[in-house]
Structure 1
Amino acid sequence: MTVNQYKLPVQGMTCTGCEEHVTEALEQAGAKNVSANFRRGEAIFQLSEDWIDQAKQNIEETGYHPDEEEIQTTGSFVAFDRDGDYDLLIVGSGGAAFSAAIKASENGAKVAMVERGTVGGTCVNIGCVPSKTMLRAGDINGLAQNHPFNGLQTGAGGVNLAKLTEQKDELVSQMRQEKYINLIDEYGFDLIRGEASFVDEKTIQVNGEHITAKSFLIATGANPAVPDIPGLKDVDYLTSTTALELKEVPKRLAVIGSGYIAAELGQMFHNFGTDVTLMQRSERLFKTYEPEVSDAIDEALREQGINLITGVTYQKVEQNGDTKSVTIEVNGEKQVIEADQILVATGRKPNTESLNLEAASVKTGKKGEVLTNEFLQTTNDRIYAAGDVTLGSQFVYVAAYEGGIVADNALGVTKRKIDLRFVPGVTFTNPSIATVGLTEQQAKAKGYDVKTSVLPLDAVPRALVNQETTGVYKLIVDGQTRKLIGAHIVSENAGDVIYTATLAVQFGLTIDDLTNSFAPYLTMAEGLKLAALTFDKDVSKLSCCAG
């Protein structure tokens, strides 16, 4: 049965008591999600078209006057066969959770969200938003102290990290309120405070109360993983969360790990004036990325003065007073890295320990991640999972996309499979790293006739005028069709450029499509066109705008 949402002008309401009378009259006719407003003289509600005449009659009998000529239908919904207290119950309150809650509520479902801590999840509270505003502050301070232009006399005083952290916290609070908390009432779903654990396959327990639902979404996210290094648990170390809460800039920082979190925060503290050492087990940075990407960011970080040690075996971590130390072995030789702070940035682990998933017949993987199929269903087909708790692509925009798919699939609106072939990824170092599509190795493994172009950043006019030429553009092309199937960039604003490449990869544009299009001169986006031209020409022998 289809349910419509109606906006009905109602004359005669003069107070909140009138609103209650109209609401009761509509609910007696079977209306759901009723909102009556005497100031606007209207009622908004969801109801089957078959019962709209009864709703109007009920309002008349209460002594108010519905305006039949002005009634508006503002949307249609699926009428759900509810099996439990809710149509969809969501555990968690981050990007996946809110995306699912909003979409399900728009479709007329009764939705609840359970949150044990702070509403908003990782991105707004402890991830993307706070880290990127602090990274921006670091970039500004770093450029003030060290820039490539002769004749400019700039400098920076000491960094008041407490003030920066206070400003960051204000921004986080504002965005959490505007982009998350305020939306709960806007869309009309329930927020239940407390920790959820499954009792059985269709019931959770929160604060001792049992709550049932037709479908569930597990969207509890992930938290920093801590490696098993002797002595580490006895040391007061930092994680990506606590590093952004510091009030003073450390003089020396040792970073265990060198993925995107380690590189971003390590460079941030370096820009604040910290002596930073990045350590990693593998022989090269970002080992799953293109070698040219790894080499370019390695060169950039070393040029900036960051101490980078690869091929590390961790021996132990110790603390003596305020001084901490990490003992490592590199090529058979022991080194001791001393620091005021140690940042552990070695990946993330899913938040599943307290959910009692066994009771719901939901299986997890080796790292505790919730296992899902292509429809984001778990091993219990009424329970879904989305976002970082699955340890898939850990981007908030992927989490939101997955939450929307769950809202459709769990409620039977449609049946959609996830498709993550064209997800761009960005690391917000300077220069930044951005990728989309296949690497050269992945393309060959899939049987493509692979052609590649590698364009050094010093071939991009924008990089030349910026006096910042450490970086690279690498394109992966299907040699048979000349379609772009992968793009990998290290440059300033690579995250902005990659969206163009994402559209090209997703919609099957060819190298000729790129070379025959206009690229604005003196932008980093022009590098994509120049990299495409490199398949057929030596761009070093072209005039500035000949591309």
Structure 2
Amino acid sequence: MTIDYDLVIIGGSLAGRYAALAATQLKATVALVESQVNCGFSQHQALSEISKIVHNLNDMAGLGIHTTQANTCKKHQVSVTWPEAKLYTQGVVSNIQEQHSLSNLAAQGVDVILGRGQFQSLPYLAFAVNQRLLRGRTYLLASGSVLCLPEIEGLQTTGYLTLSNIWRSLKQTTLPQNWVIIGGVPQSIEVAQTLARLGCNVTLVVKSASILPYADSEIAHLLQAQLEVDGVRVLTQKPITQVKLIEGKKWVQAGDKAIETDEILVATGQQPNVESLNLAAVAVKWQQHRLVVNNKLQTTNHRIYACGDVIGGYDFTNVANYEARIAVKNALFFPRFPVEYRCIPWALNSHPTLAEVGLTEAQAKRQFKPDEVLVLRQYYKTVTAAQLRDETTGICKLIVLRNGEILGASILGAEAGELINLITLAMSQKISVKQLANLSSVYPSFSEIIENTAKEWSQQKLNSNPALQDFLEGFFHFRRNWNL
């Protein structure tokens, strides 16, 4: 029996389309099986930018710079109507869909197949869809994830929205005023802040002690403070026990607090979107929240690979695309490329932006001797560009070893998503923190904060070396006297 394709991709995510294009550019024959793609991420990004613009305009008014306004939801504040916001997001999503469209992929040589299918093992390994059997040398699962609905009494009967359908489901001409968001994933924080900046009353409820338990604790605390400044009510360590509908109003019981709300957004953990794929028949194992893969992204069937949030973790596009590149190379050639997340950054589209790469302060001190780890800090208020743009809220943290090796970075502030890329490049190329201190950044620019933070390394080393301090003091004392 002949092989139909070098790689058959079971899509449904942007990572699947990215993988299809990457494989085709390597001259492989590729089939992409897709039933739908979720553009909720793009919609949220667009709405987030609108909320940022409105917020910045209001900041300008606070500085005495006023704009003409026709519609306001708060006295002396600029606002945007929900129909205007939806119109803008529809345009953005349309443009993004065009760039990643199936017609473009087909034009590049990808065999695009629309429909739902499943694996079969007999008489040979294949993927059955639309009464066709697609036989590939290898397969890639990039079907994304779906909500793992928490067991909360009354939730299903009361009704709720999810991250994947929230913006499409809101058909009203105005946004619901009161929201309860359940769950502490990064996207729930983004949505909470966006809704608050669009004039809604938002309560964010998380079970953990921190809104971002895997992020740097200091940075997460500062971001939570910013959310509260923006009007988000944050409740930590408050499990949701019950949801009720009383006289047309939704009520949420969070710990000892009963909260009345118009809408409930459930943004808890996800589970792999694989139930209809008949994976058991081809010996692919999965757990509740992820597919089981090795460090080459092979599932328990060595011919089937997986990438993106179908294998668990936070849903970040750049991380999924990195996994797609690794999986495609291993699937098409030989499985010898391991995934290495140490130099893969991630960023939260909050305001200010939160971005991280590598180890946090706590992780580094657990992995190395505490006295070997140096924590370098600089605040945005010390940066000229931040002062000029009135974006002084923020901090840059570099986690380094005494020898100058960069272990990680956490940034909360303007342009953090861009700045973290520079640090990521330095880490991946094993550039020491000393070299970052010699950047000589364009002035004024936000890159100045990286340079200033890196300079703290030599200062901390000097402060912890009394012998060197004594030598330098003696040397300059001698030079001053010798010059006389």
Name the TM tier (shorter chain).
0.7 to 0.9
* Distance in 1 separating the partners of 2:97 and 2:277: 25
**2:425 is aligned with 1:503:** yes
Structure with more helix by fraction: 2
Listed as ranges, the gaps of 5+ residues in structure 1 are 1-81, 539-547
Shift of 1:465: 3.5
Shift of 1:520: 2.5
Name the counterpart of 2:216: 290
Shift of 1:321: 4.7
Name the counterpart of 1:249: 175
**What is the TM-score with the length of structure 2 in the denominator?**
0.86
Shift of 1:289: 1.3
CA RMSD of aligned residues (A): 2.2
Shift of 1:209: 3.3
Which whole-Å deviations, capped at 9, do the CAs of 1:150-197 have from their partners, x for residues lacking one?
322347525332332233223322322232323223221211121121
Shift of 1:423: 0.7
Name the counterpart of 1:19: none
Matching residue within 473, 494, 514 for 2:416: 494
* Distance in 1 separating the partners of 2:260 and 2:10: 42
Assess, with a 3 A threshold, how the Cα gap between structure 1 residues 393 and 251 changes in structure 2: closer, same or farther. Answer: closer
Shift of 1:485: 1.5
* Distance in 2 separating the partners of 1:512 and 1:214: 48
Matching residue within 406, 415, 435 for 1:484: 406
* Distance in 2 separating the partners of 1:404 and 1:299: 37
Matching residue within 126, 130, 140 for 2:40: 126
Name the counterpart of 2:330: 409
* Distance in 1 separating the partners of 2:336 and 2:254: 51
* Distance in 1 separating the partners of 2:175 and 2:399: 42
Name the counterpart of 1:364: 286
**2:273 is aligned with 1:273:** no
Which whole-Å deviations, capped at 9, do the CAs of 1:378-409 have from their partners, x for residues lacking one?
11111111111111453222322322333322
* Distance in 1 separating the partners of 2:425 and 2:431: 8
Which whole-Å deviations, capped at 9, do the CAs of 1:65-124 have from their partners, x for residues lacking one?
xxxxxxxxxxxxxxxxx843322111114333223322333343322111122xxx33xx
* Distance in 1 separating the partners of 2:137 and 2:350: 44
- Letter of the 2:399 partner, please give it: I
**What is the TM-score with the length of structure 1 in the denominator?**
0.76
Shift of 1:515: 1.6
- Helix, strand or coil at the partner of 2:341: coil
1:291-440 matches, cutoff 5 A: 291-329=217-255, 334-367=256-289, 369-392=290-313, 394-412=315-333, 415-440=336-361
Q: Which has the larger radius of gyration?
A: 1
- Helix, strand or coil at the partner of 2:135: strand
* Distance in 2 separating the partners of 1:501 and 1:107: 30
Shift of 1:146: 4.4
Give 4+ residue runs of structure 1 displaced > 6 Å after superposition.
none
* Distance in 1 separating the partners of 2:200 and 2:416: 26
**2:16 is aligned with 1:97:** yes
Shift of 1:311: 1.8
Which whole-Å deviations, capped at 9, do the CAs of 1:32-82 have from their partners, x for residues lacking one?
xxxxxxxxxxxxxxxxxxxxxxxxxxxxxxxxxxxxxxxxxxxxxxxxxx8
| Aligned-residue identity in percent | 31
- Helix, strand or coil at the partner of 1:430: coil
Assess, with a 3 A threshold, how the Cα gap between structure 1 residues 426 and 537 changes in structure 2: closer, same or farther. Answer: same
Assess, with a 3 A threshold, how the Cα gap between structure 1 residues 90 and 321 changes in structure 2: closer, same or farther. Answer: farther
Name the counterpart of 1:182: 103
Shift of 1:363: 0.9
- Letter of the 2:233 partner, please give it: N
Name the counterpart of 2:386: 463
- Letter of the 2:40 partner, please give it: I
Q: Any conservation in 2 of the 1:144–1:155 contact (CA below 8 Å)? A: no
Listed as ranges, the gaps of 5+ residues in structure 2 are 73-79, 461-484
Name the counterpart of 2:156: 233
Shift of 1:487: 0.7
